Amino acid sequence: MMFQRKKKKSTSMSRKIVTATHPKSINAEQYRTVRTNINFSMPDQELHTLLVTSASPSEGKSTSASNIAIVFAQEGKKVLLIDADMRKPTMHHTFKVQNAYGLSNVLTRQCEAKEAIQRSEIENLWILTSGPIPPNPAELLASKNMTALTEQLSEEFDLLLFDTPPILSVADAQIVSNKVDGTILVINTGKSEKDSAIKAKELLLAAKANILGVILNNFNIGKDHYYYQYYGSVEE
């Protein structure tokens, strides 16, 4: 999937969740195409759990995760977006919700999931923020509590979407990718080196992740060209 580069850099909520704020824009339409491709990628199995990660930091994975969650919610699915990046969480900023309690609290049994899950302003979309940053994120994600939580929430929501840290930085994404139905890798075409993308793919495959596809972010196509999309696997 390719997204046209913007001339002006913005960190506003409007820019981050364009599928909600500008649903008729080209980028919003591209996220809907991503949704369609995800649905077609698993024709014989219903998708209940999805992970979004990137090779390196600042590639747009959290923005992509947020918009993918929104377009599935707009389709009518009951979606829970989980900020599983307990190292550098962002979802509470993006959706302007509290982060006093979240995933880390639930996994350490300081509260129940229903106490930490928050309804967003977008219909059919709920948020489970990261909670306070713990000293041992990888251990929490690999715990039996995490497995039990995923199974519990899968019965309450149509889709769980996990935003995880970059896979080349820490092991968190590998751990969660082994527990979900499918994984999406976000690659920033203006930032990622080919070797980094290939290494990220190898780490996911080593974890036995089901890689559904790759989103190419910040692709510059020039103002006189029609936008187009690419959604596929990372090739060596």
Phi-psi region of 111 (alpha: psi -120 to 50; beta: other; left: phi over 0): beta
Q: Assess contact for 18 and 12: CB atoms under 8 A.
A: no
- Residue at 19 is within a domain: no
- Residue at 67 is within a domain: yes
108 closest CA partner among 132, 79, 124: 132
Q: In angstroms, what is the C-alpha Rg of the chain? A: 17
Give the pLDDT of residue 195.
86
Give the pLDDT of residue 219.
67
Q: Assess contact for 68 and 62: CB atoms under 8 A.
A: no
- Residue at 41 is within a domain: yes
Higher pLDDT, 46 or 168: 168
- Residue at 234 is within a domain: no
Report CA-CA distances (Å) from 113 to 126, 135, 140, 159. 12, 20, 15, 16
Question: Percent of the chain scored above 90 by pLDDT?
Answer: 74
- Residue at 229 is within a domain: no
Torsion of CA 171, 191, 2, 62, to 10 degrees: 40
**How many residues belong to the chain?**
236
Domain count within the chain: 1
Tokens of 109: 């049994």
Give the pLDDT of residue 137.
97
- Residue at 14 is within a domain: no
pLDDT tens, residue by residue, 28-67: 999 999 999 999 988 778 899 999 999 998 889 999 999 9
Residue-number span of the structural domain to which 170 is assigned: 28-221
Give the pLDDT of residue 178.
93
Under the banding of pLDDT at 50, 70 and 90, the label for residue 136 is very high
DSSP per position, 173-196 = HHHHHTTSSEEEEEEETTT--HHH
- Residue at 98 is within a domain: yes
Q: For residue 162, give the CATH number of its domain.
A: 3.40.50.300
Residues of the chain by 3-state class (helix, strand, coil), percent to 5: 35, 20, 45
Whether 223 has a pLDDT exceeding 70, the answer reads no
Tokens of 172: 């968190």
User: How many Å apart are CA 122 and CA 70, to the nearest integer?
Assistant: 8
Higher pLDDT, 10 or 193: 193
Question: Percent of the chain scored above 70 by pLDDT?
Answer: 85
- Residue at 194 is within a domain: yes
pLDDT tens, residue by residue, 149-163: 999 999 999 999 999
Q: What is this structure's pTM?
A: 0.86
Higher pLDDT, 7 or 46: 46
Q: At what angle do helices 26-41 and 61-74 cross, to 10 degrees?
A: 80
Question: Minimum mean pLDDT among 32-36, 138-142, 170-174, 192-196: which range?
Answer: 192-196
Whether 224 has a pLDDT exceeding 80, the answer reads no
Whether 112 has a pLDDT exceeding 60, the answer reads yes
Whether 143 has a pLDDT exceeding 70, the answer reads yes
For tokens 């930032």, what's the residue?
191
Give the pLDDT of residue 181.
96
